[in-house]
Amino acid sequence: MIVEFVLVVSVTTPIESFRYVGHFTSCEQAHLYVELNIPDAKATRCLLEDYIYLPDSVKKRTIRIHDGAESFLPVDL
């Protein structure tokens, strides 16, 4: 499974800084993770790793969403 999408989230207003959340297999999974785990997110960015700079100090955190996770979302999504 290729994890090439990087999710960053801001929980401050105004949106001034983003923090690294993790690597995902798709932006859809990244945004599902936000819905389930970071409800106070003010802004998110899902970026293709090949086109961004991640400092060497960032430890890669691979996050996988399991099939049953979608059942926790509201029906209207």
Q: What pLDDT score does 22 carry? A: 95
Specify the DSSP class assigned to residue 60: P
Taking the chain (77 residues) in runs of 10, the rounded mean pLDDT of each run is 86 87 94 93 94 92 75 42
4/26 Cα distance (integer angstroms): 8
pTM exceeds 0.85: no
- What are the residue ranges spanned by the domains of the chain? 5-72
Supply 35's token pair.
């819905």
Q: What pLDDT score does 47 carry? A: 95
